[in-house]
Amino acid sequence: MRKRGGTVLVLVAIGVLAGVLSGLFGVGGGVVVVPALMAFAQMDQRRASATSLVAIAPAAVVGAVTYAVQGEVHWLAALTLAVGSVIGAPIGARLLRALPLRVLPWIFVGFIAVVLVSLFTTVPTRGGEVHFGVVEAIVLLLLGLLSGVLSGLVGVGGGVVIVPGLEVVLGAGDLLAKGTSLLTMVPTSVSGTVANLRRRAADLRVGLTVGITAAVCSPGGAVLARLVDPQAGTWLFAAFLVVVAVIVLSRGRRRAPQNDASDGEVA
């Protein structure tokens, strides 16, 4: 009983951190949930990624509502991104089951590296004039497809791609990009979760424990986002991603040899 209680407390702690980061940076929280589940719930990256996607949905819903009531959501952009992401999420879920475990940490780290480059090539602003036309719609559709594939594959909501993408493609301010990103993650995470649950790839109890806790804490992160300077927020996010990349890569390299033997099954 003590071990079970301790596990629940750990999951709640993961949810608190994921929720604050979700609201603060406009991400689903998967970038912290995946490595945390690997470290503290003894999951391999495949199961951690699938379970993380379960947790993203409630946090994204509450975070998106928090930004929406402040007028920081671009509904048309979110709809366009969502169409692409809903198509991409099941594709990512299939790839998650098919790819060897030893490959997944490198995909995750490569994904973070691309995000870091995009962060440092974009000058964050608080406001910003939004441009939305046919070209922007097509680019956002493709961006949504990419974020959906990544969400199903590495267990993140795609926000770390969508937020800088909205700033570059639409010229959106940082708060508008974060709010729109969180709204986009709702259908993405739900479609990916359904695909993973059908394959019994995710731990529903763990995912909901983390997700409900994250949902409670997400509004606090959204409020904090307004208090942080956009440039400072970018540096904080970049530093956070570097730490996560190191953790995922180090743990993935240690666990890969013992997991590859059972690569055809989900733990």
On whether residue 136 sits in a domain, the answer given is yes
pLDDT of 107-135, one tens digit each? 878 877 877 887 777 666 776 667 788 99
In this prediction, residue 123 carries a pLDDT of: 66
The set of residues, in sequence order, having a beta carbon less than 8 Å from that of 110 and lying 6+ positions away, is none
pLDDT of 204-225, one tens digit each? 999 999 999 999 999 999 888 8
On whether residue 196 sits in a domain, the answer given is yes
- From the number of C-beta atoms within 10 Å of its C-beta (0-12, 13-18, 19+), residue 62 rates as buried
Q: Sign (positive/negative) of CA torsion 102, 103, 104, 108?
A: positive
Q: What is the mean pLDDT of residues 25-31?
A: 79
The widest CA-to-CA distance across the chain, in whole angstroms, is: 58
On whether residue 267 sits in a domain, the answer given is no
In this prediction, residue 65 carries a pLDDT of: 92
In this prediction, residue 263 carries a pLDDT of: 35
| pLDDT band, residue 260 (cuts 50/70/90) | very low
On whether residue 242 sits in a domain, the answer given is yes
In this prediction, residue 12 carries a pLDDT of: 95
In this prediction, residue 203 carries a pLDDT of: 94
* Number of independent structural domains in the chain: 1
Whether the Cβ atoms of residue 175 and residue 126 lie closer than 8 Å to each other:
yes
> 133: part of which helix (H) or strand (E)?
none
On whether residue 190 sits in a domain, the answer given is yes
On whether residue 33 sits in a domain, the answer given is yes
Compute the mean pLDDT over every residue in the chain, rounded to the nearest whole number.
Answer: 81
Is pLDDT of 148 > 70?
A: yes
> How far lies 18's CA from each of 96, 178, 266, in Å?
22, 15, 24
On whether residue 131 sits in a domain, the answer given is yes
Is pLDDT of 255 > 60?
A: no
3-state class of 228 per DSSP? coil
pTM: 0.77
Structural domain containing residue 78: 2-262
Report residue 257 as tokens.
């040899």
On whether residue 36 sits in a domain, the answer given is yes
